Amino acid sequence: EVQLVESGGGLVQPGGSLRLSCAASGFTFSSYWMSWVRQAPGKGLEWVANIKQDGSEKYYVDSVKGRFTISRDNAKNSLYLQMNSLRAEDTAVYYCAREAMAGTGAFDYWGQGTLVTVSS
């Protein structure tokens, strides 16, 4: 059974940092593009970043470029999101998601999400 389990969310002050993790199981993690998608309270979905199977390509939504870094450790079946210079508008539930097929942007499995709250 495919499982994605996020962790690392919490309350952080504006300007602070947080590192999210996503533990994957039930599939060959190293064979898939992975993404982070977030959802602000009461709002819609927003794609944040993705990373190629071997980590050689990474892409970001403009609003997080230079502040967030996506990475992965295929030996540990884990996906990460390092978030620096956090702003109130980064407050959201952060989901990790598996891209069903490379280059399609279709996410067939999602984690349960981890809540990040940026507030003083």
Partner 1 sequence: QSALTQPASVSGSPGQSITISCTGTSSDVGGYNYVSWYQQHPGKAPKLMIYEVSNRPSGVPDRFSGSKSGNTASLTISGLQAEDEADYYCSSYTSSHVVFGGGTKLTVL
Using CB under 8 A as the criterion, which residues of the chain lie in contact with partner 1 when the complex forms?
A: 35, 37, 44-47, 50, 57, 59, 61-62, 95, 100, 103-108, 110-113
C-alpha torsion sign, points 91, 92, 98, 100: negative
CB of 74 to partner 1, least distance (A): 20
Q: Which residue's CB is nearer to partner 1, number 31 or number 63? A: 63
Contact 80, 71 (CB under 8 A): yes
β-sheet bridge partners, residue 20: 81
β-sheet bridge partners, residue 110: 97
CB of 59 to partner 1, least distance (A): 5
Token match 């998601």: residue?
97
CB of 16 to partner 1, least distance (A): 25
